[in-house]
Structure 1
Amino acid sequence: MASICILPFTRRRFLGAAAAWPLGLLAGCGRHEQTVGPVYQTAPGDGSGAASYRLAVHPLHNPTKLLQRYGELADYLSARLETAHIGIEASNDYAHFEDKVVGRAPHLLLPNPYQALRALDHGYRVIAEAGDSADFRGLFIARRDRVPATPAELRGQVLCYPAPTALAAAMLPQLWLAQQGLDVRAETQSVYVGSQESAILSAHRGECALGVTWPLPWRAFQRTHPTEAAELVVVWETDPLINNAVMARDDLSPVFVASVRKVLLDMATQDAGRALLEHLEIARFNPADGARYRDAMERFLDDYRAKVGDLP
């Protein structure tokens, strides 16, 4: 059964929307060209004269929730950088975020590792890892009343993922299934529903055999949807890889970039920083560089190509 891609067409209003453009459509499973959509960002600077920088975060949550959570990180950074104001920019979907990277629009990025590898080729460099690598793994979520006993039972079934390039919540799980003997693209139907929460809810509604996500949104879902979460169970999980990156554009001042990196790495040593990390569900920001991401990702992508097929 051939895989398909689906984008949700629900219309939403979000706080902090800076502009609204017509949404591009995704045809088949390929990337659509010139993806456009709403730009979600925090309010501009406070008029203090501080230089403004934009930190674009890939779709860890829906834009409203992402702005609420990571807006606090922006405020934390801005307060400690003194001469810089950091604003958070969210995207309506993964492809929209990735188009921003290609266009080098944001100054700072928080991408997943696959997006980080691509960003390295567009003039961004890694300055930190956002969280511990052990927490970056895929989770297969099923209703408690329809748990598959083995991966072989998924043949002919629908699986819901956030997006083709969601590394922990699509690519890692697809490789894991291939390692269990499934031809993911020929024997299962992949539906891409646009967000982590949508993938989990699709499993709960019985729209797919499994919803695929990763630990951070699953923990958030258990808090915000306790009734639905009680009717779901994690069936399998993948091995970990490497966690999300923090990246800076290569034309930024080295002094500014070093200051951002220091504030991030020092967060776990400060009371306010630890409280914010707990709210973001990030254990800590760890030292990292592009070489570490290239090494981890190139080995993973070699396996993916060999066992799953062409890269999304």
Structure 2
Amino acid sequence: MNKTLVKRFGIGVALAMLVALCVASSGCLDSKAKPSDEETVGTLKIGLIPTEDQIEMLKKFGPVQEYLETELGMKIETFTATDYTSVIEAMRADKIDVAFFGPFSYVLAAEQAEAEAIVTGGTEAGDVATYHSCIVTHPDSGITCIEDLLNNSSEITFSFVDPASTSGNLIPRGYLLSVGVDPDTDFKTCMFAGGHDASGLAVKSGNVDAGAIYDIGYNRLIESGAATPDDLIVIWTSDPIPKSPIAVRGDLDPALKKRIQQAFVDMPEKDPEVMKAFESKWEKNEMYVAIDDSTYEYVRVIGKSLGYI
């Protein structure tokens, strides 16, 4: 691995670059669009990445779907997939028009399917909100701190989330590599659980010694009673990562893309109950802010440095 890139994007995860990119983000929507899309697309198809149980995801998204149908005057169909790659492929094949991606799966979708980021979670100040990647372990593993995991790597069984997950693979993998541990060769075994909840529960059950999970997923397991802080012990937390984007197909009509963007930005004011329900059950966003692709440039740089792009 390039040592300069590791030094720049390993442990620190390029926080200064993140801040600069957040400031530079805007809602501009350049597109090679088909002018007739807004008139011909009577049904808007939305894809969701697998952060938790698929049936539960669709149930939680219901109020947002109803809100969007009202705001856009269109029928909405929502789909979930078993992995991140399936959502990317669905957009590439024009099977979905809008998708909720993670930062890294979005970068891959932009490269492979010409996806365009339009909004992400924001703060009351109008800034891009952030979240964190975590590494967790269970009390019977004998691991009490990150040094225990690093110093005994050959004995460790480890769970990542999905190859295209930011907080469930890219960021924790980049950290481990930056401190001299190659998960694929230095851990006893290494697996992908398929979802954040699944990764956390694999650790809790003792199927693996440690694993990656994002902080929102960790908190969701604790709040639901599926786990306790004694079951899942956080031994490492990343620097801030920009919240997950909502992206559209690049060839949608520009006016339709703008309407979709505005519908999310307006959600807290136009239907605060929907936003509150969505905030409390999904990504815990207080509001949405307009963005563009540049918000995730540093994620793209890390992905390239690790050979994923």
TM-score by length of 2: 0.76
Q: State whether structure 2 residue 87 is matched by structure 1 residue 97.
A: yes
Shift of 1:52: 1.1
Q: Secondary structure at the match of 1:147?
A: coil
Shift of 1:163: 1.3
Give the whole-Å Cα distance in 1 for the aligned partners of 2:191 and 2:197.
14
Tell me how large the CA RMSD over aligned residues is.
2.3
Q: Map residues 170-181 of structure 1 onto 2, 5 A cutoff.
A: 170-181=169-180
Match of 1:289 among 282, 288, 292: 292
Q: State whether structure 2 residue 45 is matched by structure 1 residue 54.
A: yes
Whether the 8 Å CA contact 2:109–2:115 is kept in 1: the answer is yes
Q: Secondary structure at the match of 2:55?
A: helix
Distance 1:154 1:66, change over 3 A: farther
Q: Map residues 33-48 of structure 1 onto 2, 5 A cutoff.
A: none
Question: 1:252 is matched with which residue?
Answer: 252
Question: 1:107 is matched with which residue?
Answer: 97
Whether the 8 Å CA contact 2:121–2:129 is kept in 1: the answer is no
Residue 158 of structure 2 aligns to which amino acid in structure 1? L
Question: 2:134 is matched with which residue?
Answer: 139
Match of 2:115 among 124, 127, 132: 124
Distance 1:173 1:154, change over 3 A: farther
Give the whole-Å Cα distance in 2 for the aligned partners of 1:256 and 1:191.
40
Q: Map residues 5-84 of structure 1 onto 2, 5 A cutoff.
A: 51-81=42-72, 83-84=73-74
Question: 2:153 is matched with which residue?
Answer: 155
Q: Map residues 205-224 of structure 1 onto 2, 5 A cutoff.
A: 205-224=205-224
Q: Map residues 195-210 of structure 1 onto 2, 5 A cutoff.
A: 195-210=195-210
Whether the 8 Å CA contact 1:142–1:209 is kept in 2: the answer is yes
Q: Which moved more, 1:129-138 or 1:119-128?
A: 129-138
Shift of 1:185: 2.2
Distance 1:80 1:180, change over 3 A: same
Question: 1:36 is matched with which residue?
Answer: none
Residue 89 of structure 2 aligns to which amino acid in structure 1? D
Q: Secondary structure at the match of 1:53?
A: strand
- Deviation string 1:120-169 (CA, Å, 9 cap, x unpaired) is 23232111114565533211111134334314234111111221221111
Whether the 8 Å CA contact 1:140–1:212 is kept in 2: the answer is yes
Give the whole-Å Cα distance in 2 for the aligned partners of 1:185 and 1:226.
29
Identity across matched positions, percent = 14
Which structure has the highest helix share of the two? Answer: 2
Give the whole-Å Cα distance in 2 for the aligned partners of 1:111 and 1:227.
26
Residue 249 of structure 2 aligns to which amino acid in structure 1? R
Distance 1:298 1:232, change over 3 A: closer
Shift of 1:302: 4.0
Q: Map residues 271-286 of structure 1 onto 2, 5 A cutoff.
A: 271-276=272-277, 277-280=279-282, 281-286=284-289
Distance 1:134 1:239, change over 3 A: farther
Whether the 8 Å CA contact 2:197–2:221 is kept in 1: the answer is yes
Residue 93 of structure 1 aligns to which amino acid in structure 2? D
Whether the 8 Å CA contact 2:63–2:274 is kept in 1: the answer is no
Question: 2:34 is matched with which residue?
Answer: none
Residue 191 of structure 1 aligns to which amino acid in structure 2? M
Runs ≥4 in structure 1, deviation > 4 angstroms? 131-134, 226-229
Whether the 8 Å CA contact 1:148–1:154 is kept in 2: the answer is no
Distance 1:207 1:131, change over 3 A: farther
Shift of 1:108: 0.7
Give the whole-Å Cα distance in 1 for the aligned partners of 2:190 and 2:122.
28
Whether the 8 Å CA contact 1:163–1:192 is kept in 2: the answer is yes
Residue 84 of structure 2 aligns to which amino acid in structure 1? Y
Residue 285 of structure 1 aligns to which amino acid in structure 2? Y
Number of paired residues? 257
Question: 2:17 is matched with which residue?
Answer: none
Q: Secondary structure at the match of 1:182?
A: coil
Whether the 8 Å CA contact 1:242–1:296 is kept in 2: the answer is no
Distance 1:108 1:70, change over 3 A: same
Shift of 1:90: 0.5
